[in-house]
Amino acid sequence: MATIRDVAELAGVSVATVSRTLQQPERVSPKTRSRVLSAIEQTGYQPNLMAVKFRSGKTHSLVVLVPTVANLFFARVISGMQEAAAQRGYTLLLGNTLGNPQIEADYARMVQTAQADGLIQLRASNPFSPEKSASAGLLPMVNACEVLNTSLCPTVTLDNRLAAATMTRHLLDLGHRRIALIKGPQASPLTQERLAGYQDALQQAGIDFDSSLLFDGDFTLQAGYEAARKILAQPQPPTAVFCENDETAIGAMQAIKEAGLRIPQDMSVAGFDDIAFAAYSDPPLTTIAQPAEEFGHTAVSLLVEVLTGKISKAPKVILPFELIVRHSTGPAPIAGASYLTPAL
C-alpha cells in the first residue's frame, strides 16, 4: 500500500504538499498539483483514512441508535439519514440496540472514544453518561421520532398527541362512540402521547373515557392480533379500534376478520405511520402518515450543525403529519344491529 511519502518522492515534493493537494487544492500551484495528482495515479495511492481521522480528530461518522432495524418505519427514517449524511460526507454507523440501555451506552461510548463525531437517538433515552450529559453546551446528539423533553440536544418529532386526536376525531365523526385503543410499549412516550390525544378527542366530544377500552401492545403484528382477540371477547365490544401503529392494526385486522366480522362495516380499524403495507392490507388501512425520510434528513442536518458549532441552542423541530383515509374505517354500525348481518 502506497503512503503519502511514496507519492511525495515520486512527485519530487514534500508530504505536506501532497496533503495540501488533497485537502486544499487551491493552495497549491496548478503545476505541482498536476504533478502530485499523476504521482497519486501512478502509485495507486489511497489515503489511510484511519490515519486522517486519527490525526484530524474528525471521523465524519455518525452513530445511529435504532431500537430495531426490522421495522419499516425506522427503515424509512434510516434511508433518509443515509441520504443526508452522504451529501454532507458523513458515514452512518447503525446500532441495533433492541432498546437496551446497556447496548445504547456502549454505542454512545463510540462518540467518547473518538470513533464517531455524534449520535442520533431514535428512542426517548439519553445514552450518554451523567457526567458527559452534565458538561457544558449541547450534547453531540440529536433525538428524533420518539423524543425526550430536554434542552441537552435538538429534537425532531411530530405532534403525536394531535395526530392521535385527529384520528380519534375521524372515528368519532364516523359515529363511533366506543373506540378501543391498542397501545404501544408501555415505556414509550409515543404510547402515552397517542393515548393523551385519544383522550383529548374523546373529551372534546363529551364522551367519558373508559379504561376498559385500553389494550396493551408493543407495535408488533402479533400484539395487534392478540389484543384484538381480547377486544372481541369483551361483553360489549367497541365499534372501532385505533391502533398506535400500522403493524398492530394489520395484526388486529386478521383477528377481526377471523372472527367473521367485516371491516369496516362491523368494525373500523385505524393505524399510525403509513408503512408501505398499509396501502396493501385488506381493506387498505386508514392511518396517519409520518414524513419518515424527512425525520432522517432533519436529524442528520441538525446534528451536523451541532457538530460544526453552527447552533448552540437546541431547536425542537415538529414535522407535519397527514390523516390518510382508506377503507378500514367507515360509519359506525347502527346500534343493536347484529354483527352477523349478511354483507349484501
Binding footprint of its own copies on the chain (CB under 8 A): 1, 44, 46-51, 53-54, 57, 59, 68-72, 75-76, 78-79, 82, 91-94, 96, 109-110, 112-115, 131, 220-221, 225, 250-251, 253-254, 257, 276-277, 279-282, 284
Q: What is 33-54 written as a DSSP string?
A: HHHHHHHHHHHT----HHHHHH
183-212 positions binding DNA, by CB under 7 A: none
Q: Say whether residue 54 binds DNA (CB under 7 A).
A: yes
CA dist 221 and 112 (Å) reads 37
Q: Which three cell numbers stand for residue 77?
A: 427514517
Residue 110: name its binding partner from DNA, its own copies, none (Cβ under 5 to 8 Å by kind). Answer: its own copies
Please choose which of DNA, its own copies, none residue 72 contacts, taking the beta carbon within 5 to 8 angstroms, the exact cut-off set by kind: its own copies
Q: Is 27 in the site for DNA (CB under 7 A)?
A: yes
3 state DSSP class of 214: strand
Counting contacts by CB under 7 A, is residue 10 touching DNA? Answer: no
Rounded to the nearest whole angstrom, what is the least distance from the CB of residue 244 to its own copies in the complex? 17
What Å distances lie between residue 220 and 104, 185, 217, 246, 314, CA to CA? Answer: 22, 10, 7, 9, 33
Separation in Å, CA 121 to CA 64, 107, 318? 6, 10, 16
For residue 93, the partner it binds in DNA, its own copies, none, with Cβ less than 5 to 8 A by kind, is: its own copies
Of 72, 81, 70, which is closest to residue 287 (Cα–Cα)?
A: 72
Shortest spacing between CB 164 and its own copies, in angstroms? 23
Q: Which is nearer to its own copies, 207 or 277 (CB)?
A: 277
Nearer to its own copies, 316 or 327 (CB): 327
Residue 47 class from Cβ within 10 Å (0-12 exposed, 13-18 middle, 19+ buried)? middle
Q: How many CA atoms lie within 13 A of 117 on its CB side?
A: 22
CB of 40 to DNA, least distance (A): 10
Instruction: Choose between 52 and 103: whose C-beta lies nearer to DNA.
Output: 52
Of 7-15, 133-141, 170-178, 323-331: span binding DNA (CB under 7 A): 7-15
106: its cell numbers: 456502549
